[in-house]
Structures are given as C-alpha cells and as structure tokens.
Structure 1
Amino acid sequence: MNGSSHGDNIMTDIQAAFSDPQFVARYTEGPRRFVPGYDAMQSMTAILLAESVPRDGQVLVLGAGGGLELKAFAQAHPGWRFDGVDPSAAMLALAGQTLGSLAPRARLHQGYIDDAPEGPFDGATCLLTLHFVDVAERRRIASEVRRRLKPRAPFVVAHLSAPDGEQERPLWLSRYSAFLAASGVEPEQAAAARNAVTNHLEILAPAQDEVILREAGFSDPTLFYTGFAFRGWVAYA
C-alpha cells in the first residue's frame, strides 16, 4: 500500500475493523443505513454490467467481503460467474454465508488487486472501497483492473466523492450526516461517521475520480449514481 505513515495507520485501523467478529456479524445491516440508495445502486450496477457482459460472463468484484453485491449480481444473472477479492478473511467467510446456495459460482480470494486472477474478465466492479485508499493506490488499482479486462469491458465504481470547495464539501457531508440520522442511526454515531469521513478518508472531487479512470486507460467515464456524498461511474476498458 502506497502512502504516508498516517495513511498506513488508517488502513491498519480499517483492516482491524473488518476483521473484528462483532463488526463482521453486524456488517450486512450497515450498507443500507449508511449508503443512500444502496439497493438501487447495486441494481443499476448489474444493469450497466449486463449491457456488455455475456450471459455466461466472468466478473471481477473488488472489495467483495460481505457478499452483498455478489449475491445481488448472481441472483440477477444466473449465468454469470465471479472472482471476488477482499483483504479480510472474516469478511470473505461472511460472503460465503451470504451467497448460500449461490456460493459455487464465486471464487473468493483473500488479498488485494495483485491477488486477483489475470482474467481477462468481461466486467469488473469496485463498490464502496476506493475511498479507503490514497490517490496513488487508486491509480494503481484502476490500472491493474484495466489490464485484467477484455476490450470495452465495463468497470463500475462507487465510493465517497464530493466537491472540494470550502463551502461545498462541508455541505455535502452535513447532508450525509442528516441522511444517517433519518435512517435511524443514533445522532452520536452519525456525528462520529461524519468525523471519520472528514478526518480519515481521502475523498476526491468527482473530476479527480474521472481523471484517475481516464489515466488508467478507461474511456467514457459516465456518472450514473449520486447519493449525497457518494457517486458512481461506469467506464470502459
């Protein structure tokens, strides 16, 4: 992992959280409460993939721990098979449980992008993951995904991304905090989530996220999802 010692410490904390048994046990309850339009975002991702991925396609899923997107994609497209990658063994175990009878269609790999099979894949996703890594690592991940995709294969990403103006960024994060409260998150927990996002994650402006995709060799990055401080794009190898 590239980045400063501060960034390394953050990643250590994040990895510890995703390995904590209590956190893992509660994980599947979280995304719908913490990510605006979570289920719709997954459905849209599957639709965007299906525009190019054949009925018997192979899809690479980065940050596959928990298995929620794997299950959604597998249920929507019975012929697809998957390679899911995640650094947390505990989260991959949860993914297997979440998939249930669908598990034989997914090969799960513990690690990072370098531990993903070479492909070539018909499509790839990286949902709610890239905001955990710094800019240099995002560039590297995007390039490594691009290298593993067939020509014109889709890559769908979604993560925290908000305008970086002095007034705009706090406004979007305030709206996100209000969403958490409206979703039933306790006010103290909502405030803590906003502070963690503000102080510990390297959030980029949307234009910067698009530049990373283009520099990695992807074409036509197109915004398809906005949920307050979250945004998602589809781009093509």
Structure 2
Amino acid sequence: MHGFEDPAAVARYRDTTLAKVPGLAALHRMSAVLLAEAVPDDGQVLVLGAGGGLELEAFASAHPGWRLTGVDPSAPMLQLAARTMGALAPRARLVEGTIDDAPTGPFDGATCLLTLHFLTIEQRLHTLRALWRRLRPGAPLVVAHHSFDPHDPDATRWLRRSAAFASPSGRPGSDSEASIAAMRERLPAVPPDEDVRLLAAAGFERVELFYAGFTFRGWVALRP
C-alpha cells in the first residue's frame, strides 16, 4: 500500500507531500481551473486517489456547488481526507477502494493526482479506461504524477533534483541516494510520451501538458 496504511506516514502525509511536489497548491488550483472549463456549477467530479483530501479541500473551497466523490484504497488516508476537509467534509462522498469500486457516474470531470505512478502499465490502462467509462462525453480528466524513464541515465539527475527540492537545505540529504535508487527500481514510472500514449489508448483526446516540475508531469485530456 506504499506506506499509506502506516499511521506515522499518514500523519506526515500533508507536510511531506507539500514538500516533495513542486507547486502542489498551484497544481490543485490549476486542476480546478481545467475542470471548470466543462464542469457546471452543480457538476459531479470524481477524485481518484483522494486520500489526504488536499485536492478535495481545494475543489470544495473554489466551487461550492460541485458534488465530489473521492476514491482511495486506504481507509486511514480517507479518514485523513475527512479531517483535512473539516467543515467541508459533508461535500464529499468518500469511497474506499480502487476505480472499480467507484460509482459509475456519469461524472462531469475527474482527477487522478499523484496516483498513476504506483500502477503498472496494465493497471494504468485499466484505470484510465474505467475513468473514461465513468465520464460523460466532453468531460475532462486531469492527471499528474512522476513521469520519467527509469532506464534513462538522466533520470538519476532529475530525481536528485527532486530530492534537493524536498530538503530544507536545498541539497539532497544523506539518505537521498538510497531513496533515489529505490524509486528507480520499484516505482513503475514511465516516460512522458508513454503517459500520453496510454491516455490516447484509453480513448481520451486533446491530451495537453499543463504542468511540469522536475520529475512530475500533468496532463488534461477530454473524453470525446
């Protein structure tokens, strides 16, 4: 479960994620802007990988009429999402499980942030196709996650930069090299062009890059 069942990791999630992901708050704001291009004021939005609740909180604050459904396989992370949302928690229906456990919709838009890089290519394609089926025609999907080629020698350089960004000193910590090696070996990341290919293979069109921060990339695409 990538540590998301560990109480200590869950307790640190908000701070560690804000430290590791460049411009995370802006990423959530940009995602809301992209969704709002097609999601009506009272629209339904599916948030896959909603544990922690940061994007749920951002969407609920920016768009009071949106009806939100958050899906995540980790019960402790969903509990954290409810705490993060605070008084906004009633605005979101929280579902424990994977995309296969999500309501069928149709939704007016969806996001999948910081999640797909944990999935193999087969699991990603299954997830993206399941998201496609749950969206109405013309609905946007916003995704963002680690996107790099683990077999490219340059990947280590970029991962080292990410580690430096996450460090208060602006330099990689003493344990960074072990962490970088583990990411290259265990994280099923794929290169950006493969991410785009998978979105197209799932049926999405007009795939556009809108976010890049070191090894992170974000795209918006439409269900035709």
Retained in 2: the 8 A contact 1:85–1:109? yes
Which residue number corresponds to residue 112 of structure 2?
126
Runs ≥4 residues deviating over 6 A: 183-186
1:25 shift after superposition: 1.2
Deviation digits for residues 188-208 of structure 1, max 9, x if unmatched? 343343233212101111000
| 1:175 partnered with 2:180 | no
Which residue number corresponds to residue 3 of structure 1?
none
Which residue number corresponds to residue 225 of structure 1?
211
The whole-number CA distance in structure 2 between the counterparts of 1:80 and 1:113 is 20
Label 1:210 to 1:142 Cα distance change in 2 as closer, same or farther (>3 A).
same
Retained in 1: the 8 A contact 2:47–2:68? yes
1:185 shift after superposition: 8.4
Computed over aligned residues only, the root mean square deviation of the Cα atoms, in angstroms, reads 1.6
1:169 shift after superposition: 2.0
Which residue number corresponds to residue 183 of structure 2?
197
| 1:213 partnered with 2:208 | no
Deviation digits for residues 54-90 of structure 1, max 9, x if unmatched? 0001000000011011001110111111110000111
The whole-number CA distance in structure 2 between the counterparts of 1:182 and 1:30 is 11
Which residue number corresponds to residue 54 of structure 2?
68
Which residue number corresponds to residue 123 of structure 2?
137
* Identity across the alignment (%): 54
Retained in 1: the 8 A contact 2:149–2:189? no
Unpaired segments ≥5 residues, structure 2: none
What's the TM-score once normalised by structure 1's chain length? 0.89
Which residue number corresponds to residue 113 of structure 1?
99
Label 1:177 to 1:55 Cα distance change in 2 as closer, same or farther (>3 A).
same
The structure whose residues are more often helix, as a share, is 1
1:145 shift after superposition: 0.1
Label 1:142 to 1:162 Cα distance change in 2 as closer, same or farther (>3 A).
same
Unpaired segments ≥5 residues, structure 1: 1-11
Label 1:228 to 1:127 Cα distance change in 2 as closer, same or farther (>3 A).
same
1:39 shift after superposition: 1.1
Which residue number corresponds to residue 87 of structure 1?
73
What's the TM-score once normalised by structure 2's chain length? 0.94
The whole-number CA distance in structure 2 between the counterparts of 1:191 and 1:31 is 19
Label 1:178 to 1:81 Cα distance change in 2 as closer, same or farther (>3 A).
same
Label 1:126 to 1:185 Cα distance change in 2 as closer, same or farther (>3 A).
farther
Retained in 2: the 8 A contact 1:33–1:184? no
